[in-house]
Amino acid sequence: MGNWFCRTKNIKIIILGLDASGKTTMLYHMKLGEFVSTIPTIGHNIETVHLDGIDITCWDLSSRGVMSKLWQVYYPNTQGFVFMIDSSRRDELDDSLNEFLTYVLRHEHTINKVIMIVANKQDLKGALSAQEIEDRLLERSLASRQHTMFVTPCSALDKKQVNETFSFFAHQICLNEKGKAKSGLITVKEQQEYWNQIHKADTETTFKLILHNSIQYFKSYFE
């Protein structure tokens, strides 16, 4: 998609989630372009990833022990928050959402920021779909209009999915910096419509469509 809308060439994001949700695997697959074996993070990992012409500084924070209680120390000057959910562990969904509510959604430094909830491990049999997680989010009234937020499916083992996931995330941060991001929840259906348009058009056509606001979906972001 490129960085056609970004005022900044540098973005800081924080990657959060319960233990073994795939935070570090996702980060290093995006950084190195390949799967690497990881061990549980103690403290944090910091990497800068170049994507769509933007340098994204990623802070991967540990959730071991009391570490999740220290997440907020890293929140200032952060443009986007990624919350990873292991969608193959159905019985832990509410635990994950409790962490999300306590340490992300309720925190003052996340207000008016972009929040991406990643339904990770979609490659595993029986994994919760992004739609199921979105439905549970709505059931618990966790879709705040004080944030731009969305649930997206992904497998941290799939390079294309990882890149597309973070490309969309960076795009929303760019729109947010211009005051043009959607407030509240970008639904799974809206995301699917977005990608359908992207995949149907080649780069030149997409560029023209965006510039001239000729796709209704894009119009909703620019009006």
Q: Is 17 annotated as a binding residue?
A: yes
Does residue 130 lie within any of the structural domains? yes
Least confident of 45-49, 81-85, 114-118: 45-49
- Looking at the fold, whether 23 and 91 belong to one and the same domain comes out as yes
User: Distance (Å, rounded) from C-alpha 159 to C-alpha 164?
Assistant: 9
- Asked whether the predicted pLDDT for residue 123 surpasses 60, the reply is yes
What pLDDT digit, counting tens, does each position of 78-107 carry? Answer: 999 999 999 999 999 999 999 999 989 999
pLDDT at 108: 92
Does residue 98 lie within any of the structural domains? yes
- Looking at the fold, whether 106 and 18 belong to one and the same domain comes out as yes
Distance of CA 217 to the CA centre of its chain: 19
Q: Is 121 annotated as a binding residue?
A: yes
- Of 80, 90, 10, 102, nearest in space to 48 by CA: 10
- Looking at the fold, whether 41 and 115 belong to one and the same domain comes out as yes
Does residue 167 lie within any of the structural domains? yes
- Looking at the fold, whether 151 and 205 belong to one and the same domain comes out as no
Q: List the domain range (segments joined by +) for residue 147.
A: 10-186
Does residue 175 lie within any of the structural domains? yes
- Looking at the fold, whether 139 and 194 belong to one and the same domain comes out as no
Q: Is 20 annotated as a binding residue?
A: yes
- Looking at the fold, whether 171 and 210 belong to one and the same domain comes out as no
Per-position DSSP letters for the chain, written without gaps between them: -TTTT-S-SEEEEEEEESTTSSHHHHHHHHHHSS-------SSEEEEEEEETTEEEEEEEE--STTGGGGGGGG-TT--EEEEEEETT-GGGHHHHHHHHIIIIIT-GGGTTSEEEEEEE-TTSTTPPPHHHHHHHHHHTT---TTSEEEEEE--TT-HHHHHHHHHHHHHHHHHHHTT-SPSEE--HHHHHHHHHHHHHS-HHHHHHHHHTT-SHHHHHHH-
SS (H, E, C) 159-209: HHHHHHHHHHHHHHHHHHHCCCCCCEECCHHHHHHHHHHHHHCCHHHHHHH
pLDDT at 215: 43
Question: What's the whole-model pTM score?
Answer: 0.84
- Asked whether the predicted pLDDT for residue 4 surpasses 60, the reply is no
- Looking at the fold, whether 128 and 192 belong to one and the same domain comes out as no
Residues 31, 46 contacting (CB under 8 angstroms): no
Q: Domain with 73 in it: what CATH number?
A: 3.40.50.300
- Looking at the fold, whether 104 and 193 belong to one and the same domain comes out as no
- Looking at the fold, whether 127 and 192 belong to one and the same domain comes out as no
- Of 101, 106, 104, 112, nearest in space to 139 by CA: 101
Q: Is 22 annotated as a binding residue?
A: yes
Q: Is 156 annotated as a binding residue?
A: no
- Looking at the fold, whether 199 and 223 belong to one and the same domain comes out as yes
Q: Is 122 annotated as a binding residue?
A: yes
- Looking at the fold, whether 222 and 152 belong to one and the same domain comes out as no
Q: Is 24 annotated as a binding residue?
A: yes
Q: How many structural domains are present in the chain? A: 2
Q: Is 130 annotated as a binding residue?
A: no
Q: Is 18 annotated as a binding residue?
A: yes
